[in-house]
Amino acid sequence: MPTILADSFTSSLAKLANDEQKQAKLTAFDLQANPDQPGLQFHRIDKSRDPNFWSVRVNGDLRIIVHKTGGSLMLVYVDHHDDAYKWAERRRIEAHPKTGAIQIVEVRELVEEIATPQAGPAQATLPLEAPSSVQAPLLFADLSSDDLLSVGVPEDWLDDVVAATEDEFFALVGYLPQEAVEALFEYAATGVLKPAVAPIADPLAHPDTQRRFRIFEGAEELQAALDAPFEKWAVFLHPLQRGVVDRDYNGPARVAGSAGTGKTVVALHRVVRILKTRPDARVLLTTFSEPLARALARKLAVLAADRQGFLERVTISSFEQTARELYALTTGREPNVADQTTMRTAVLKAAADQQESEFSQQFLVSEWENVIDAWRIDSEEAYAAVPRMGRKNRLGGRQRERLWRIFVRVRQTLTRRALLTPAGLFATVTQTYVTRAEKPFTHIVVDEAQDLGVAELRFLAAIAPSRSDALFFAGDVGQRIFQQPFSWKGLGIDVRGRSSILKVNYRTSHQIRQAADRLLPQNIRDVDGLEDQRSGTVSVFEGPEPQIVIAESVEAEIGSAAAFLRELIDEGFAPAEIGIFVRSQDQLSRARAAAEAAGLKTRTLVDGKAGGDETLLGIMHLAKGLEFRAVVLMACDEGMLPLESRVADVADEFELDEVIATERQLFYVAATRARERLFVSGVAPGSEFLDDLRK
């Protein structure tokens, strides 16, 4: 008998104590293996409006609520006895009369009061029916019952939706299915109501059903889903996500979206889909760092847990590590790659040898890294022709000639010492594979694609086969913090017409997402004209407003942060569910002092990995790819964000714009690691970015 897992079960399971979770999982596995075995104690929930709800005993007080219909068994909830029964007595599971999607519907007449969300700690909770001297406008008064049914609003809740003001609609969100919430949010923002997916023959195959329920045939797959170390939306795909995953592409494809919209989840499911549909597939899943590659490996293992041999056909590593391994494979030796300090020293020594004084040291290093080395310029003629993307230092012929003499000496130094730059490593492997008919992989899936550089993108294109669906990218231009912009199309990677934007934020509360989005433009256009439209993104849950503190002294800031941390622990947050980040290593002592004042043990994020039961400390760059229930961002001072040393070292106006943009994007990345609570602090007058965060 197939077992159907509801997202409400995984949510309720996560709220139990660890020992209770283990017992509930064992009972769930027993139910899947043989629901008729004598040891399982089924009891019909007589007071429920749905006759198919039953309880199953886990232990003396713990119960799993299941929904039994025909030959299927659905796990829908788990809790202590009384709370589990109350949950089932107030709900029913049914196919929506208009859309056909299966929904878990809360019976409206059994809901005594709906509380509007609190705007702040001082605002009292009011019932939905509370009188007001000023009547706020009704958001959906112009929509008919048929309109509301077309987007999946349950019949029980039609009157409430029609009568809802903005605040009252936020109070209704928790009672409505997600497809209805998303459609109504979009209507409120744009005035356009988009009906749900049309009914299909099998309600379980409906895309909106699959965002709530997943069918498991094997015990291994069920166990992986229940043990999953990442959020439930990795298992239950949104219809838009599923459409991107399952689409057949006739060229390179890209999925974009703001932080928390599930781009990585889509990339992982895309890998699984390729492996399922192509038994001969050899897939490279790659990203910009090894810590993130390890995180991807853990998550893919969850999704592919019941698929024997799948993981053997996937290589998961960073851009550079992939290039290193292919270099070693084709040359028989390990590459000798120069680090950034070595390269800076080589550039400045070459400039000193040429007695160059017109250009700043920062300009020389930047010109080497972002023009000469990135584009692999090998002649003065090529230097004259290279597109210096947006760089405002116009160079005359004599200036280029002098600069080129410097860069020739840098190349001679590298050759003499048998050193490769990272860009040189990518270029060497690119040259090896670009003309080879046989490629090391059949498909390449790239996560955090916004941080690809010129050399990396050329490298991936060279090791990809000519098949139309070989390249799939997931990324967000608004989270680019490592690379300068350039034209993908100019390098032969054109994703126009095959670019999708995700709009539903699963990770971050509405309040945190809304505040963080103020740091970036609503629409960000890349060099090729593709636009990431950040407007219209909706979060699927509410939470407290971010707390922003500008303290008079470092000591006062540490005290405020410590008080916030103690409040989190008092509310039941585990230490490992909290991340504390600062802009630079020099400020880690402030973060550590706040944690110690709150009585928390800490570990440092030296490589982006999380673990143990300690609060995590790190610089903002290492926050990328991680997530926490609560995040504390400290030392957001003037001169720290944007970092004063970066601003002082810019080579030209373009680089200044880039520095400010990437500093904003770094702050955005750090803030959106938070799911439920966000605390941001600095010493007066504070970073200029804080004004944008709290507008």
Phi, psi of 372 (to 5 degrees): -65, -55
Question: For residue 685, is the peptide bond before it cis, meaning its omega torsion is within 30 degrees of 0?
Answer: yes
Strand ranges of the sheet holding 42-44, from the earlier edge strand across to the other edge: 42-44, 53-57, 62-69, 72-80, 3-6, 213-216
- Residue 171: predicted pLDDT: 85
Task: Residue 608: name the closest of 588, 579, 574 by CA.
Answer: 579
Residue 217 has a pLDDT of 65
Those residues with Cβ within 8 angstroms of residue 529's Cβ, 6 or more apart along the chain or in another chain: 496
DSSP E strand stretches across 88-233: 91-95, 102-106, 213-216
pTM of structure: 0.75
Query: What are the tokens at 568?
Result: 């989190």
Tokens 């699984």 belong to residue: 272
| The pLDDT of residue 648 | 73
Residues 298-328: pLDDT tens digits? 888 877 876 778 899 999 999 999 999 999 9
Distance CA 581, CA 605 (A): 9
The answer to whether 203 and 196 have CB atoms below 8 angstroms apart is: no
Q: Are 465 and 439 in contact (CB under 8 A)?
A: yes
User: Could you check whether the bond before residue 97 is cis, i.e. omega within 30 degrees of 0?
Assistant: no
Q: How far is CA 358 from the centre of its chain?
A: 44
Encode 44-71: b = buried (16+ Cβ within 10 Å), e = exposed: ebeebebebbbbbbbeeebbbbbbbeee
Q: Are 429 and 462 in contact (CB under 8 A)?
A: yes
Q: Collapsing DSSP states into helix, strand and coil, what is residue 254? A: strand
Q: Which two three-digit tokens encode residue 660?
A: 């400010």
pLDDT in tens, 185-207: 888 878 889 887 788 888 988 99
Reported for 241-246, long-range contacts at CB under 8 A and 24+ positions apart, including other chains, are 241/265, 241/266, 241/269, 241/502, 242/207, 242/210, 242/269, 243/207, 243/500, 244/270, 244/500, 244/502, 245/269, 245/270, 245/273, 246/273
**Other C-beta atoms lying within 10 Å of the C-beta of residue 466:** 7
- Per DSSP, which regions of 458-564 are E strands? 471-474, 499-502, 504-505, 523-525, 531-533, 538-539, 547-551
- For the stretch 4-14, what's the b/e string if a residue is b when 16 or more beta carbons lie within 10 angstroms of its beta carbon? bbbbbbbebbe
State the burial class of residue 656 (Cβ atoms within 10 Å of its Cβ: 0-12, 13-18, 19+).
Answer: middle
What pLDDT does 389 receive? 52
pLDDT recorded at residue 394: 63
Determine the Cα–Cα distance for residues 636 and 546; give it in Å rounded to an integer.
14
Alpha helices in 174-238 (DSSP H): 178-190, 207-210, 219-226
Tokens linked to 692: 């944008």
DSSP string, 435-488: T-SS-S-SEEEEESGGG--HHHHHHHHHHS-SSTTSEEEE--GGG--S-----S
- Rounded to the nearest 10°, the torsion over CA 67, 71, 72, 78 is 40
Rounded to whole angstroms, the Cα distance separating 110 from 496 reads: 50
Residue type at position 565: L
The low-confidence residues of the chain, meaning pLDDT below 50, are: 119-132, 229-230, 390, 392, 607-610
| Cβ(581)–Cβ(670) below 8 Å | yes
* DSSP single-letter state for residue 97: T
Amino acid identity of residue 483, one-letter, is Q
Residues 90 and 102 sit within 8 Å (Cβ to Cβ): no
Phi, psi at 444, each rounded to 5°:
-130, 125
Tokens 């949104």, residue?
238
Between CA 417 and CA 429 the distance in angstroms is 19
Q: Cα(507)–Cα(79) distance, rounded to whole angstroms?
A: 24
C-alpha to C-alpha distances, 642 to 309, 512, 686, nearest whole angstrom: 47, 21, 11
